């Protein structure tokens, strides 16, 4: 009787697991989580050592397989719920943003602090160029920020909350360590540790939506033995995030 009962429960759990697997393609995170919990509990009442002691090996194997599948589907549902929550919290930040040039500070102190050749000439051009941003979130906390000017597009992809990864400038001449995080104001931050310059060199770029609806971009340059350089720029939202967004 115990064997038959557990076998029936196992088959029910498998059916629920299959249904949950199909649901992953089109159901909400909360629905997935609920199904995952139900699946994980399907065999809970039959997993005592006394009941398992007299079961045939084939039934035990089936039970263990189902329990493993239950754990997988439950963890998948939990990840889906977390991903959905992260996307929801950052929703105001996602979309296309146009620079509000009169409200922006000059990038000259930042560029000069990096010691770029011809910094005064370069920063004058940079300040005159209109910038458009596209901010998106995919694959969990994988954030992509694309900035577009008359000179072209530049894309930065970073895992928020992940570890450092080595990256290179567009020309490939200089390398740095890239990492990202979610700020307390439901924004995103990107750090570039300039290890080729030595210890203590890094740039921080944080973007967040202000109460008035504008996006604030804070650019910070940190150097050993010198005060931080901070430059802020502001953007207004001009469109939602779509597949056609530049």
Regarding pTM above 0.75, the answer is no
Q: Which residue has the tokens 């196992």?
A: 10
Question: 47-76: b or e for each residue (b if 16 or more CB lie within 10 Å)?
Answer: eeeeeeeebeeebeebbeebbebbebbbeb
- The span from the CA of 154 to the CA of 195, in Å, is 22
Distance CA 29, CA 22 (A): 13
Helix pair 29-40, 2-23: axis angle to 10 deg: 170
Residue 191: its pLDDT value, please?
97
pLDDT in tens, the chain (246 residues): 544 444 454 455 444 544 544 444 443 333 334 444 443 444 444 444 444 455 455 544 544 454 454 444 444 444 444 445 555 789 999 999 999 999 999 999 999 999 988 888 888 899 999 999 999 998 778 999 999 999 999 999 999 999 999 999 888 889 999 999 998 778 999 999 999 999 999 999 999 999 999 999 999 999 999 999 999 999 999 998 776 666
In sign, the C-alpha dihedral spanning 215, 182, 126, 154 is: negative
For residues 155 and 146, the answer to whether their CB atoms sit within 8 Å is yes
Token reading at 23:
């649901």
Residue 216 host element (H or E): strand 215-223
Residue 140 vs residues 28, 83, 87, 186, 209: alpha-carbon distances, Å: 14, 5, 8, 15, 20
In terms of Cβ atoms closer than 10 Å to its own Cβ (0-12, 13-18, 19+), residue 227 is exposed
Evaluate whether 231 touches 106 at the Cβ level (below 8 Å): yes
């Amino acid at each position: 009787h115990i064997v038959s009962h557990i076998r029936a429960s196992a088959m029910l759990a498998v059916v629920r697991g299959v249904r949950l697997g199909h649901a992953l393609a089109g159901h909400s995170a909360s629905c997935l989580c609920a199904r995952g919990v139900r699946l994980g509990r399907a065999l809970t009442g039959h997993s005592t050592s006394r009941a398992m002691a007299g079961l045939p090996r084939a039934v035990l194997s089936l039970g263990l397989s189902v329990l493993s599948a239950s754990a997988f589907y439950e963890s998948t549902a939990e990840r889906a719920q977390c991903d959905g929550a992260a996307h929801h919290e950052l929703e105001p930040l996602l979309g296309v943003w146009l620079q509000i040039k009169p409200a922006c500070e000059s990038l000259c102190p930042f560029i000069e602090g990096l010691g770029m050749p011809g910094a005064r000439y370069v920063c004058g051009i940079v300040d005159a160029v209109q910038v458009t941003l596209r901010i998106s979130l995919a694959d969990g906390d994988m954030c992509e920020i694309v900035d577009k000017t008359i000179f072209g597009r530049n894309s930065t992809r970073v895992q928020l909350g992940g570890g450092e990864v080595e990256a290179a400038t567009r020309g490939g001449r200089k390398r740095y360590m890239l990492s990202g995080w979610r700020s307390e104001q439901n924004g995103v931050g990107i750090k570039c540790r300039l290890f080729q310059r030595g210890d203590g060199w890094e740039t921080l770029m944080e973007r967040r939506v202000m109460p008035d609806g504008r996006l604030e971009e804070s650019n910070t340059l940190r150097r050993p033995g010198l005060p931080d350089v901070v430059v802020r720029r502001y953007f207004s939202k001009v469109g939602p995030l779509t597949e056609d967004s530049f």
